[in-house]
A and B are shown apart, each in its own frame.
Chain A
């Protein structure tokens, strides 16, 4: 049985088709339950890479397979469904809905995915109970916090709510876009450990984007997004040389 959860081949993506691709990935495979750190400088295309994986952005060329499904063949709504059913996302700025309570924020993905709802049902629990369990495991066990508006929480607490929202429904893939950049080092490490632990429990694959190389040892594998762009630059350079030779 194929253990790979994400497969990328000859991926090219550019904002303008007539210009040089912004991201080029010749080949990348991410295995089930793997925790992958994606490093890269600001503006190197880390977030764009996550948007490509999540199916929000369409590919210019190449192939991405998520759980053996080719994104290039999928319609926009099919890509939305893949994201809703199999992924959870954590952002740098947490991106919680400010007018909803903690529990309501955590439960949002359940409303867009029947697959996630069914997964919770097979556990013999309700979505709310699952949300409370996740929050508790992430250190937000106090009941009064659950009903609070997210804007009333501290930055660290908000980030844990965002993690619970990504983890609910046990998605196969967790995409984390620099989720600790707003936290101090101590809290960032604590949050990262909690996230890694939860992903382990859920058997979730984690794609963790960060420019902080100090966290590298906590991951099984790491790649640099710069490597891809460098690859692209080399190809481009060779092309120019070829033109010169001619």
Chain B
């Protein structure tokens, strides 16, 4: 106990150097745990984004491209699917439900999905959870809109507010559909998935805002007001993709084959689970690289601690000689130095953890709304415990080096210092 007390007092006596060493270890831990948190957050956001959907069907394209554009609204679909093809496939007796999706427009950088009520009934995320309304209800009329939680929170939208949809994706739009604004009728509860950053409108709404547009621009010779357009036939000609739920999952390969060999239109059906896993494996390499870099930062921090301790060794030979003279064995002196290393490492780790949690609290809303990464700000995972444990063990091992040096000096110096 006295050795621990002595170690603490000695560290306090060297506040500045010790604080710098603790700070360098804290930075390492912050980086290591921060990267780990973001990795877990990314993985969860990824794997939880869609659940209970057996197939995603779109125009012929790569599996990953279809998944990214449909679920994450990243990139564009290669082409559209005709409404006719969609209806044909949806009528397949092996299929339980479908959710049509029409993409391509945005609001303030958030993607707009044109869909129908089946979206709110059948879309599932995480562990087969259904969408729930935080406020209001699903769209009923052509120009009704349902907002994801982040969209509403960021712009402080409430039920009844009007929003204008831009043509195309991205924050900056050259053309908008300002002549046909949408009214917010519902706000969804947070899901921790890209749904939170999406505006949901009816397929008819998407058709209505584009009915007087030609080649991606407003038609100069034709214009329908919002009231006039309600009188028109708003059944869509094309959609971007659709989600499929089967009556029996054992038929998944058969249905996929049917769709992939569809004669009327070249289509691609992908299994979201498999494609997500493949995408995650690709990202895993980046994640490993990040972890390696963080690992090197941690090692650099620990080497900094070693340098700080070794620099102090010569200065402290007299102190050790005093302790030897009053009966301290070289092993106790070794214990004292090792104890100091442990204290520095543990303080560094504690500070690092505190900084990680603080930064997560600050960065959480930004990461969620800007990047769609949902972090779990509480609790320490098993993986993080391994990381912390490894750093503590490395800290102890590194502390052995100056401890051993002091031990050798204390044997050599005895009660007096010969330098």
Q: Hey, which bits of chain A sit against chain B, CB under 8 A?
A: 47, 50-51, 54, 56-57, 76-77, 80-81, 83-85, 87-89, 91, 93, 95-100, 108-109, 111-113, 165, 177
Given the complex of chains A and B, what is the CA–CA distance between A97 and B3 in angstroms? Answer: 13
A76 B13 Cβ-Cβ under 8 A: no
Give 5 closest A-B pairs by Cβ, nearest first.
Answer: A84-B327, A99-B13, A56-B414, A112-B327, A111-B2
Q: Say whether, besides A91-B416, A99-B10, A112-B332, A54 and B2 are in contact (CB < 8 Å).
A: no
Residues A54 and B326 in contact, CB atoms below 8 Å apart: no
* Residues in B328-343 with C-beta less than 8 Å from chain A: 328-332
CB contact between B415 and one of A84, A91, A109, A113 (< 8 Å): that residue: A91
| B20: Cβ under 8 A from any A Cβ | no
* Interchain pairs with CB closer than 8 A, number: 69
CB distance from B198 to the nearest CB of A (A): 61
A98-B13, A100-B9 are known contacts. Are A112 and B416 too (CB-CB below 8 A)? Answer: no
Given A99-B9, A100-B9, verify A51-B416 contact (CB < 8 Å).
Answer: yes
- B414's closest neighbor in chain A, by CB? A56
B415 touches A108 (CB 8 A): no
User: Which stretch of B120-128, B206-214, B218-226, B314-322 is in the interface?
Assistant: B314-322
Answer whether residue B325 sits at the interface, using C-beta atoms and an 8 A cutoff. Answer: yes
Number of B residues near A (Cβ < 8 Å) is: 23
Interface assignment of B323: CB less than 8 Å from any CB of chain A: yes
B354 within 8 Å of A (CB atoms): no
Smallest Cβ distance from B238 to chain A, in angstroms? 79
By CB atoms of chain B within 10 A, which of A56, A57, A81, A177 has the most? A56
**Could you pull out 30 A-B pairs where Cβ atoms are within 8 angstroms?**
A47-B415, A47-B416, A51-B415, A51-B416, A56-B324, A56-B414, A56-B415, A76-B329, A77-B331, A80-B327, A80-B328, A81-B327, A83-B325, A84-B326, A84-B327, A85-B327, A89-B325, A91-B415, A93-B318, A95-B321, A96-B322, A97-B322, A100-B9, A108-B323, A108-B326, A109-B327, A112-B323, A112-B326, A112-B327, A113-B327
Smallest beta-carbon distance A120→chain B, Å: 15
Q: Taking chain B's interface residues, is the majority helix, strand, or loop, or is none over half, making it mixed?
A: helix
Q: A97-B319, A98-B13, A99-B9 are in contact. Are A89 and B326 (CB under 8 A)?
A: yes
Cα–Cα, bound, A97→B414 (Å): 16
Taken residue by residue from 6 to 19, chain B's Cβ proximity to chain A (1 for < 8 Å, 0 otherwise) reads as: 10011011000000
Whether A77 and B325, one on each chain, are in contact in the complex, defined by CB atoms closer than 8 angstroms, is no
Chain B residue nearest in CB terms to A98: B13
Docked CA distance A138–B370 (Å)? 72
Residues of A within 8 A of B6 (CB): 97
| Closest chain B residue, CB of each to CB of A116 | B327
Cα distance, A34 to B318, chains bound together (Å): 30
Measured in the bound complex, the distance between the Cα atoms of B324 and A87 in whole Å is: 12
Question: In the complex the two chains form, what is the Cα distance from A177 to B321 in whole Å?
Answer: 14
The reply to whether B326 and A57 contact each other, CB–CB distance below 8 Å, is no
A91 and B13 form a contact (CB under 8 A): no
Q: Whole-angstrom distance from the CB of A246 to the nearest CB of chain B? A: 39
Chain A positions within 8 Å of B332 at CB level = 112
Residues in B neighbouring A85, C-beta threshold 8 A: 327
Task: Name 8 extra pairs, CB < 8 A, besides A77-B329, A80-B329, A112-B323.
Answer: A51-B416, A56-B325, A77-B331, A81-B327, A84-B328, A95-B325, A99-B13, A177-B415
A80 to B415 Cα, complex, angstroms: 11
Q: Which listed residue, B2, B322, B327, B414, touches A51 by the CB 8 Å rule?
A: B414
Set A57, A81, A108: member contacting B414, Cβ < 8 A: A57
Residues of B within 8 A of A57 (CB): 414
Most chain B beta carbons < 10 A, residue from A98, A99, A165: A99
A205 to chain B, nearest CB (A): 17
From B327, which residue of chain A is reached at the shortest CB distance?
A: A84
Cα of A81 to Cα of B12 in the assembled complex, Å:
29
Bound form: Cα–Cα A108–B5 in Å: 11
Contacts of B328 in A (CB 8 A): 80, 84, 112
Alpha-carbon separation in the docked complex, A177 to B12 (Å): 30
